[in-house]
Chains A and B, each alone.
Chain A
Amino acid sequence: MMTAQFLYGGAGMVLFVLGIWSFLVHEPLVRKLIALNIMGGGVFHVLIAIAYRGDDMAPDPVPQALVLTGIVVAVSATALALALGRRLDDLSPGDGPDFSPPAPQADLPLRPKEHAGGSADVS
């Protein structure tokens, strides 16, 4: 089905663009990482769509092998970024670092009023 292939590839492109947008506008590290993984998912969608060669032929194995490799790379990169982010949080428990979510400022009664007001959206 050509339409299925087209839908799949098109969805991949949409995911890629959504990922870039989200990566650029959101500050917290976790959101940026999720955005990057959505971008990667988009590229993998496109590669899977390429592999389709009609109903009576087996799919092209090369793009599928690429997707597998790509997933491994994405997982390792995400792990390294998370490890660096954890380290950053450990180093600066007080002020909000560039890339990490607003850390729950436990037990430090520095700004009691703000803490009480802002605790609703900080899990």
Chain B
Amino acid sequence: MSAELLAFAVAVPLLGAMLAVVTVTRQGSETRASPLLNWVGLITATLTTLVIIFMTGAVWQQGPLRLELGGWGVPLGIALRADGLSAAMLAMANLVALGTSLYATGYFRSNDEALHFWPLWLLLWAALNGLFLAADLFNLYVMLELLGLAAAALGALTGSRDAVSANLRYLLVGLLGSMTYLLGVALLYTAYGTMDMSLLADVMRAPGPTDGTALVLMTAGLALKAALFPLHFWLPPAHANAPAPVSAALSALVVKAAFYLILRLWLELFAPVATFGASMVLGLLGASAVVWGSWRALRAERLKLLAAYSTVAQIGYLFLFFPLLAATPPGPAHDQLVAAVVLMALTHGFAKAGLFLAAGLVQQQAGHDRINELGGTAQHLPATVFAIALAGSSLIGLPPSGSFISKWLLMQGALETGQWWIIPVAASGTLLAAAYIFRVLSRAFGLEPTPLRFVTDARTEVPALTLALISAAALGLAAGPLWTLLGLDAGGGA
């Protein structure tokens, strides 16, 4: 009974997409969107989200669900399954998508854009749900391709030269990634004769010679789609030039889907194959992504480009967890880390969607999104700027946001497994994130152009700054010697 919900999660948006294609009116030779179109979109969005909410509730109460479509079992049939991980990602993705749909009804002023937006958007949604629910590796490949095609077409919706060129590149890169992934799937099928993930997880206990190659191929293909540094080059132009609701979905959901697959494969299938060295490669790439992405976000001149580079950095954080997961033996500590990385992915999904939607409003209102010329936005659009600040605080990882807890657990894991290098990376990423968010906010609140120099009178300002810095950072971080000075026993250590 509740397993049937899995089929509806894919079928409802797919049907909605088809309905949206035919919901047009003809005026002479011209095809125009019918006034019903927004309603078709909104109703489909609401129904899909309801299905997912019920499904998440069912997984919560009864544990994992599995459905074999049409009664055809493996290997020929298509199976859908939902466990805790996929339910969590689905709930996030569908809530974000519902919000984005609502936003889209107000965003698209031009009839033409809405006409093309809805079918592609609902198709993307169906692919996303299918991807999170897929139980076998080939079904995943089909959903990945569907997602890539719909995403590239949506990204190019504005029709501007930059958008078309960036999304053509995105499409080609995505095809390269999924072909590489497919070769890995073919190798796994050669070795084990099945593509069902739970069957594979059972037989892959003892790693064979092809497993390593399949791991490298599949991870590389998916990392390209997840925009892991240095394979992120396609992301900033593609996400920054898309219409705002599309940017939100691309950054918050589509990239996350590829990351979800890597996480799932590494946790379930490749756990015996993936060595610590392999996970270290992912971790180091993630660290480079955090630093490089945050730095580029800080230097970005446009708000949407800033948000896109911030996505590169946030994807990096997710990959920082891999060396910790590899170094932690299965048990409560390992589960804690898995929960932390999922929580970070969910938080980033909501935060980045909110940031991109708000950036779209700023862009519409101001006619541009050049950060330096956004003075006074807070006076015109207070709620929008507040949304940017809220999403920003979550990107920085301020308490009580979800990413605060995740970063806390990340650093705790780094200390416990002795991987100290993660701490300065996470700390510098956090500082840079604070810098780029506050850079936007300070511009948005300022009516006058702010002074170009940070320090205006060194003799008077530097002492004030130093004293403030000591109270804010130095005393907190280096409080230990105080105990010694006072002759007290330091923290009950002895």
Contact mask for chain A residues 45-82; partner B; CB cutoff 8 A; 1 contact, 0 none: 01100100000000011110110011001001100110
Q: Find chain B residues with CB under 8 A from A63 CB.
A: 186, 189
Whether the Cβ atoms of B172 and A36 lie closer than 8 Å is yes
Tell me the residues in window 64-104 of chain A with beta carbons closer than 8 Å to chain B beta carbons: 65-66, 69-70, 73, 76-77, 80-81, 84-85, 87-88, 91-92, 97-99
Whether the Cβ atoms of A61 and B76 lie closer than 8 Å is yes
Contact mask for chain B residues 132-159; partner A; CB cutoff 8 A; 1 contact, 0 none: 0000001001100100110011001001
Besides A20-B176, A32-B172, A46-B186, 4 more A-B contacts (Cβ < 8 Å) are A60-B193, A63-B186, A98-B165, A99-B169
Can you list 18 A-B pairs, Cβ within 8 angstroms, ordered by A?
A16-B179, A20-B180, A23-B176, A29-B168, A40-B182, A46-B187, A46-B190, A62-B195, A66-B138, A76-B149, A77-B145, A84-B168, A88-B161, A91-B160, A97-B165, A98-B165, A99-B169, A99-B172
Q: Find chain B residues with CB under 8 A from A60 CB.
A: 193
Chain A residue at minimum C-beta to C-beta distance from B174: A77
Q: Find chain B residues with CB under 8 A from A99 CB.
A: 165, 168-169, 172
Whether the Cβ atoms of A80 and B183 lie closer than 8 Å is no
Whether the Cβ atoms of A62 and B76 lie closer than 8 Å is yes
Whether the Cβ atoms of A84 and B164 lie closer than 8 Å is yes
> Which residues of B are at the interface with A, using a C-beta cutoff of 8 A?
75-76, 138, 141-142, 145, 148-149, 152-153, 156, 159-161, 164-165, 167-169, 171-172, 175-176, 179-180, 182-183, 186-187, 189-190, 193, 195
Q: Find chain A residues with CB under 8 A from B175 CB.
A: 36, 77, 81
Roughly how many angstroms separate A40 CA and B75 CA in the complex, as a whole number?
A: 22
> Which residues of A are at the interface with B, using a C-beta cutoff of 8 A?
16, 19-20, 23, 29, 32-33, 36, 39-40, 42-43, 46-47, 50, 60-63, 65-66, 69-70, 73, 76-77, 80-81, 84-85, 87-88, 91-92, 97-99
Distance (whole angstroms) from the CB of B148 to the closest CB of chain A: 8
Whether the Cβ atoms of A73 and B145 lie closer than 8 Å is yes
Whether the Cβ atoms of B149 and A39 lie closer than 8 Å is no
Given contacts A61-B76, A77-B149, A81-B171, contact A88 B164 (CB under 8 A): yes
Roughly how many angstroms separate A98 CA and B165 CA in the complex, as a whole number?
A: 7
Roughly how many angstroms separate A60 CA and B187 CA in the complex, as a whole number?
A: 15
Chain A residue at minimum C-beta to C-beta distance from B194: A62
Whether the Cβ atoms of B165 and A88 lie closer than 8 Å is yes
Roughly how many angstroms separate A62 CA and B168 CA in the complex, as a whole number?
A: 32
Roughly how many angstroms separate A39 CA and B180 CA in the complex, as a whole number?
A: 9
